[in-house]
Structure 1
Amino acid sequence: MRLMVKAPAKINLTLDVLYKRPDGYHEVEMVMTTIDLADRLTIEPLDENKIVLDCSVCFLPLDERNHVYQAAMLLKQQFNIDKGVRIYIDKQIPIAAGLAGGSSDAAATIRGLNQLWNLGMNMQEMADLGSRIGSDVPFCVYGGTALAKGRGERIELLSSPPPCWVILAKPPIGVSTAEVYGALKAEQFKDTGKSKQMMEAIYRKDFLAVCESLSNHLESVTLERYPEVRLIKEKMARFGADGVLMSGSGPTVFALTDKESRANRIYNGLRGFCKDVFAVRVLGGNNW
């Protein structure tokens, strides 16, 4: 039996940091949605009791540092599985981009192995296991559009946002999520953010209100440290985007527009400046 599992990227429409918790993590509220940019995983059983990873890119670790490996090992240990598995990752989502590529791959692995090994887990059980790998994995298990609370593990599903184009641009730099959160000062997240406002805009299917509600408390830190990210954001606005925001801790910036001609203008304007540029549609539903 061979399974093909889709692992879509996500963008943060909001990322509101509420406060720093006693356990060292930050309490957050985030509205996230999936987009039509995805890795694809091929999962097949092995006779030998081991986990074998392969990937379309040569610079991704294929051992216990990889979220896919961690997810497979977690399920083997949790359910006492003495079978092996081979997983091939067709990597399309840029790495370390703020798009949850690794988390989505882990979520796809959990969903796929749940089917391959007949584990019988429901969505909540898969999400709970995924939270042990990373904060974005529970959302990626569900997919679609959701409000994520806590560290990101408490998921409240939402309706899909209004249809629109998403143009993404990632500069050739890496950003450490831990470092960005660590540099965040209390005064930078004193306001309550815009997650409630965003949910209302999505409920009304009001595209302009969605654009006006975009918010990311981490953006000020990353923009200050990485001028390349600020420059991309400025260019997107200048090319006519209806809304522009950095996703996650960066460095990827995305632009929203409901006009295809404008999407093409933004995409073409950025291609000469940035290698990783994508023009995709917002998915919003469970399209894996």
Structure 2
Amino acid sequence: MEPIREKAYAKVNLSLDILGKRQDGYHEVSMIMQQISLHDLIEISTGRQPGIKITSNKSKLPLNKNNLVYKAAEKLANYHQIHLQKESIIIHIEKNIPVAAGLAGGSADAAATFCALNRYWKKEVAENDLMDLGKEIGADVPYCLMGGTALAEGIGEKLTPLKVKTPMWMVLVKPPFSASTAEVYKAFSMASGNRRPDNQKIIEALSKGKLATLAFFMENVLQPVTTSMVPEIEKVQKKLLEFNAFHAMMSGSGTTVFGLFKTRKKAESAYEKLRKIYQETYIAHTIHHR
């Protein structure tokens, strides 16, 4: 059988607000997620030894049961009642999305694994059922399955698709430092008084293509927390604005900072300058449908 390939698209947060902490320890969020063209590639092929084998072009990636791709494959096999003691699957992850960067790379890989394995096994699963399976692996997996632009609520699993009038170009920079998502959320305080996003205004601006309004109401309440741990975030943000981004902000819990640009030409100009300073610099555009 020919290998099955599926793109795993990264995401950025156009906003991230925290509404409170739940009794189960998770945080109640309200955020606008945006899929972008930066992607990993998942490839499924037949192996010789029974079970799941994961390979990757990145040596630092866990290639065992700790990888969300492994968890996705195992969960989908159980769903389809496929016995992995008899099946032999190799899943190769061509990693392009930076790791531990606030871009949902692991969740995107898990979502793409679901889709690729369904094609490999010639199975059809309703998207809602896949999203329910994904929720058991990670809060961002259902969104990565749906893609496009969405308002995410609850712990990120309650999704409302959004319409966007104007595609956008962006440059992303991952500083050579990471921050633990768990530590960032732990350090966040509802009483901090940091500026919060206005998601309704952002949704309206996206639907009308009003980029200046969009920029004014965008905010990530975790950015001050992560910046206190990784001060380089603020330097990256200033550089992106210096190189003509109309807005720059951290994605997720960090540490990647992305700048939004009004034209591809401006984005390419900033990308060329920034990649001379930061090794992990990327250029991408928004994706509004799968």
Using the size of structure 1 for normalisation, the TM-score is: 0.94
Equivalent residue, structure 2, for 1:21:
22
Equivalent residue, structure 1, for 2:40:
39
The one of 153, 159, 163 equivalent to 2:157 is 153
Equivalent residue, structure 2, for 1:179:
183
What secondary structure does 2:244 align onto? coil
- Going from structure 1 to structure 2, the CA distance change for 1:254 and 1:190 (only over 3 Å counts) comes to closer
Equivalent residue, structure 2, for 1:231:
235
C-alpha deviations, 1:134-168, integer Å up to 9, x for none?
11111001111111111111111112351121100
- Going from structure 1 to structure 2, the CA distance change for 1:87 and 1:220 (only over 3 Å counts) comes to same
Distance 1:248 1:55 in 2: 24
Equivalent residue, structure 1, for 2:65:
64
Report how many aligned residue pairs link the two structures: 286
Larger deviation, residues 206-215 vs 179-188: 206-215
Aligned-partner residue type, residue 38 of structure 2: L
Contiguous gaps of at least 5 residues in structure 1: none
Equivalent residue, structure 1, for 2:137:
133
Identity of aligned residues (%): 39
1:123 aligns with 2:127: yes
Aligned-partner residue type, residue 121 of structure 1: V
The one of 68, 80, 90 equivalent to 1:86 is 90
- Map residues 270-285 of structure 1 onto 2, 5 A cutoff: 270-285=274-289
- Going from structure 1 to structure 2, the CA distance change for 1:112 and 1:213 (only over 3 Å counts) comes to same
Q: CA RMSD in A?
A: 1.6
What is the deviation of 1:279? Answer: 1.4
Distance 1:111 1:161 in 2: 28
Distance 2:160 2:192 in 1: 26
What is the deviation of 1:25? Answer: 0.5
1:114 aligns with 2:80: no
Asked if 1 retains the 8 angstrom alpha-carbon contact of 2:196 and 2:219, the reply is no
Larger deviation, residues 248-257 vs 156-165: 156-165
Distance 1:124 1:92 in 2: 28
Aligned-partner residue type, residue 22 of structure 1: Q
Using the size of structure 2 for normalisation, the TM-score is: 0.94
Asked if 2 retains the 8 angstrom alpha-carbon contact of 1:149 and 1:155, the reply is yes
Equivalent residue, structure 2, for 1:216:
220
What is the deviation of 1:275? Answer: 0.7
1:254 aligns with 2:255: no
Larger deviation, residues 253-262 vs 56-65: 253-262
Distance 1:141 1:161 in 2: 22
Asked if 2 retains the 8 angstrom alpha-carbon contact of 1:189 and 1:217, the reply is no
What is the deviation of 1:38? Answer: 0.5
Asked if 2 retains the 8 angstrom alpha-carbon contact of 1:18 and 1:192, the reply is no
What secondary structure does 2:267 align onto? helix
Distance 2:165 2:276 in 1: 30
Asked if 1 retains the 8 angstrom alpha-carbon contact of 2:197 and 2:218, the reply is no
What is the deviation of 1:119? Answer: 3.5
Asked if 1 retains the 8 angstrom alpha-carbon contact of 2:195 and 2:221, the reply is no
Aligned-partner residue type, residue 159 of structure 1: K
Asked if 2 retains the 8 angstrom alpha-carbon contact of 1:164 and 1:257, the reply is yes
- Going from structure 1 to structure 2, the CA distance change for 1:190 and 1:19 (only over 3 Å counts) comes to farther
Contiguous gaps of at least 5 residues in structure 2: none
What is the deviation of 1:115? Answer: 2.3
Distance 1:276 1:238 in 2: 18
